[in-house]
Amino acid sequence: MNLTDRPRRLRTDGVRPLVSETRLAPEDLIAPVFVDATTEERVPIESMPGHERVPVSEAVSRVEEVLETGVEAVMLFGIPESKDEYGSRAWAEDGVVQEATRAITEETDAYVVTDVCLCEYTSHGHCGVVEDHAADDPTLTVRNDETLDLLAKTAVSHADAGADMVAPSAMTDGMVGAIRDGLDDAGHTSVPIMSYAAKYESAFYGPFRDAADGAPAFGDRRHYQMDPANGREALREVRADVEQGADVLMVKPALPYLDVVASIRREFDHPVAAYNVSGEYAMLHAAADRGWLDLEATAHESLLSIKRAGADLILTYFAEDVAKGL
Ligand code: PBG
């Protein structure tokens, strides 16, 4: 054979690291943490092995465990003590995320990002104010414009408690602008917004909804979260968020949407984040449990692929395990 181009020359152990295009680092990862106001002790999340809902009193120790692995950032989700129609515990000064944020930022060096949404706080489980007859007509659910003010109040209450960054995930049109205005008016001009800009109406959120008790009581989220069939529409969503002041652009879920990550990377200069969601975590665990997959290897390969597609940062339930192996 007269082959001049032999890519295999660069695959020896000695040279592979030199030519490797993508590398994972613990600093790229954000670990989700669930803080639960309804419990006094840590409760394991069955569908997400290794993860727990922790009471506010354990929030600091939970975050210290994350920091020990080299991961420096956490994303907080709250499970409130009570829910109502508007989700008012989401913006309460003594709410679960606010209390946890205060404790974590006072006692650790973690970079604290908070999820800004209402679905864990509303009695109906939707991400905003619902229409009167929504239960009877699934095409009507969240009232977009009335929800904006509640999201802004929630984000401001998180920043007041010390959150380093807020991450709105409600898929309400105009949410980034409303939150930016709210933060700026409250003096939080330096708190960045990581927008869940392209968040799909995905079946991969199942385990999270168990974990955070945030499944909708009726209907689904199809008319506010994106259609999995649409890729170009993600750019339109992202453009709107950029115009409204988003600092980091997130795609969620990650693995089934790497084309979207790659196209946002090409079109925009902002940092791109990808959320490797609960279902992506649970499926590897379930297969590994049966001896069908090597968990460590598939988790590492998953995160590497997300970075290769163009994500600068990755939110993942594998954060601690992968960081330990790096
Ligand atoms: C909404 C929110 C959800 C997730 C993160 N933020 C649930 C949803 O939209 O139904 C899902 C994360 C995951 O599945 O890991 N507050």
Residue 140 has what pLDDT? 64
Which residue CA neighbors atom 11 of ligand 1 most closely? 205
| Of 117, 141, 171, best ligand 1 pocket probe by most atoms within 8 Å of the beta carbon | 117
Residue 253 CA, ligand 1 centroid: distance in Å = 9
Q: Which atom of ligand 1 is nearest to the CA of 119?
A: 16
Q: Enumerate the H helices of the chain as residue ranges.
A: 16-19, 59-68, 96-107, 144-160, 175-185, 206-212, 232-243, 258-267, 278-289, 295-309, 319-325
Atom of ligand 1 nearest to the CA of 199: 9
Whether the CB of 119 sits within 6 Å of ligand 1: yes
207 CA closest ligand 1 atom index: 14
Distance CA 118, CA 291 (A): 38
User: Catalytic site residue 252?
Assistant: yes
Q: Identify the pLDDT of residue 214.
A: 77
Query: Alpha-carbon Rg of the chain, whole angstroms?
Result: 20
22-325 CATH fold: TIM Barrel (3.20.20)
Q: What is the DSSP letter of 226?
A: B
Per-residue confidence (pLDDT) for residue 138, from 0 to 100 = 62
Question: Which residue type is seen at 228?
Answer: P
| Residue among 127, 131, 116, 99 nearest 35 (CA) | 99
The best mutation among 122, 147, 169 to test binding of ligand 1, ranked by most ligand atoms within 8 Å of the C-beta, falls on 169
> Strand pairing of 43-44 and 52-54?
antiparallel
Say what the pLDDT of residue 134 is.
65
Overall size of the chain counted in residues: 326
Measured distance CA(128)–CA(221) in Å, rounded: 11
What pTM did the predictor assign?
0.96
Q: What is the ipTM of this complex?
A: 0.95
| Residue 258 Cα to ligand 1 middle (Å) | 18
Q: Confirm or deny that 209 is annotated as ligand binding.
A: yes
Candidates 123, 184, 179; CA nearest to 150 is 179
Residue 200 in contact with ligand 1 by CB distance below 6 A: no
- The secondary structure element, H or E, covering residue 52 is strand 52-54
The verdict on whether 199 is a catalytic residue reads yes
CA of 207 to the centre of ligand 1 (A): 9
Distance between CA 40 and CA 17 in Å, rounded? Answer: 47
3-class secondary-structure state, position 28: helix
Pocket lining: 277 vs ligand 1, CB cutoff 6 Å = yes
The segments of the chain whose pLDDT lies below 70 read: 133-135, 138-140
